Amino acid sequence: MLYAGGTRLPPTKLRIKNITKNFETKSNKLHVLDSISLDVKEKEFLTIIGPSGCGKTTLIRIIAGLETPTSGRIILDETEIHKPSKKIGYVPQEYSLFPWKNTKENIRFGLKLQGVKKADAEKKIEELLDLIGLSEFREYYPKNISGGMKQKIAIARALAIDQTLLLLDEPLISIDAQNRNKLQDDILKIWKKSERTIVFITHNIDEAVYLSDRIIILSPLPATVKEIIPITLERPRNRTSPQFNHIRKEILNYMNFD
Amino acid sequence: MNKKKINHVVISIITLLFFILIWQIIAGLNLSSVIPTPLEVLKAFIDFSIEGDNFGYNFIDHISASLLRVILGFYFAFIITVPLGLFMGLSKKIESVFNPLIEIFRPIPPFAWIPFALVFFGLGLISQSFIIFIGAFFPILTNTLKGVQETSKIHIDVAKTLGASRSDTIVHVILPSTLPSILVGTRIGLGVGWMCVIAAELVGLNTPVGLGYLIQYSAQFGNFGLSFSAMLLTGLIGFGINFIIKLIENYALRWRDTIATN
């Protein structure tokens, strides 16, 4: 199979195989994910989109090893994931920075746990601060910086340990529209420069089309893979171009579940 | 100081002056010899500062005796309850072991322990500190427990994905996020301890020293001016303790987006 532009298809990074998840309470059984299968390619930007409460977060938490699936397997680089792994970075929706640590200390946290030497850690932190463009805020505490900055620092913290797969769970959900566009460009830049594979969750169609190589549309509960849409538009993408709008419309139609 | 702060201080001073005025008027009505005028209180304060009591103790002796009892009782309460609260918060099993005991003992007023303490520990420092220990025990314990339980699930998850073991998570995530609650517990525990010491000194003394003792002893001999000045000192010191812990809190927790105000 040929990839856009005629190059060979890159190898598979992550395999999601028949993931099913039920949440059981005493009186209730909630069927959240129904045998979801998909492959994520090396260095791909893959976005999972679906209506609110469709189990997107549950799926990403299962990939991160934070939640156990009822059945099915997650395979990263040929090894199965059962628990959180240093190979997988995870950025939740919001409020994930440690408020008692400043920017540098937050980024350093993972490095410290890995026992990275102080000088090496410092170098890495400076590189990451440079990458996210927040070098001047290295001593700031989370309470003194904006929501967008916090999310970029959370991404840098995840990137600090050398994982190759980055999971972003609606990282821009609480950012206003104007800053959101700017942060989307920042995320693309970070993705390109850091050469990571990204699995991104959103319910914002515009965001998904702007960012992704492929979009996975989930159905309402119990979630199944409803549609897979590859996007071959060249970057930087024009949000108002006819092609862009065409894809948006297509996704909107797929997401019209009633 | 900004304008708001200055206004606040000015209002506080006016309130105090007004209080003294009302006090002077009521005492001046001479309804009872029990109520001394502000001036009599001030005079008793000065006299006592110069002369001390029959045993040769002055204010400093009385204050430091009371403080020692509080610090001792508080210290033992702190070193037992903080680890206990942490363990209870970390393990549902440990929590269910201790919870019934705590729920039964917590509503018992610390003073109800006085007869027991006197029989068990006899007159003296240990008995008094024991009452303070009981008084400080529950505020620190419940606040520590609450702090552990309120640790953000998101922070714990993120730490795990960054490679944190269980003990890394406890040291680097749960402890720092519990610290604010521990400090709140400390402040309340010391406040309750300070109230308890005054009551504990009304009984069970083997040495005639302590602010609570002074309040009672001077009143018995009709020196209500001295009794009142010892009461006011008690209030001032309680205020001071609270103020100092708040300063520590606001410094140690300067990363927080709220500050301790009361």
Q: pLDDT tens for residues B225-261? A: 999 999 999 999 999 999 999 999 888 888 887 665 5
Chain B residues with CB-CB distance to A114 below 8 A: 163
pLDDT tens-place string over residues A39-54: 988 889 999 998 877 7
Tens of pLDDT, residue by residue over B70-112, are: 999 999 999 999 999 999 999 999 999 999 999 999 999 998 9
Model confidence pLDDT, tens digit, residues A183-236: 888 888 888 888 889 999 998 888 888 889 899 988 888 888 888 888 888 888
Cβ pair A84:B176 closer than 8 A: no
pTM of the entire predicted model: 0.84
- Rounded to the nearest integer, the mean pLDDT of chain B is 89
Over A91-121, what HEC string results? ECCCCCCCCCCCHHHHHHHHHHHCCCCHHHH
Contacts of B162 in chain A (CB under 8 A): 86, 109-110, 113, 157-158, 161
Asked whether the predicted pLDDT for residue A146 surpasses 80, the reply is yes
CATH superfamily entry for domain A1-87+199-258: P-loop containing nucleotide triphosphate hydrolases (3.40.50.300)
Looking at this predicted complex, what is its ipTM? 0.87
User: Given A84, A95, A142, which is nearest B161 (Cβ)?
Assistant: A84
A86 touches chain B (CB under 8 A): yes
Q: For B61-100, b where at least 16 C-beta lie within 10 A, e where not — what string? A: bbbebbbbbbbbbbebbbeebbebbbbbbbeeeebeeeee
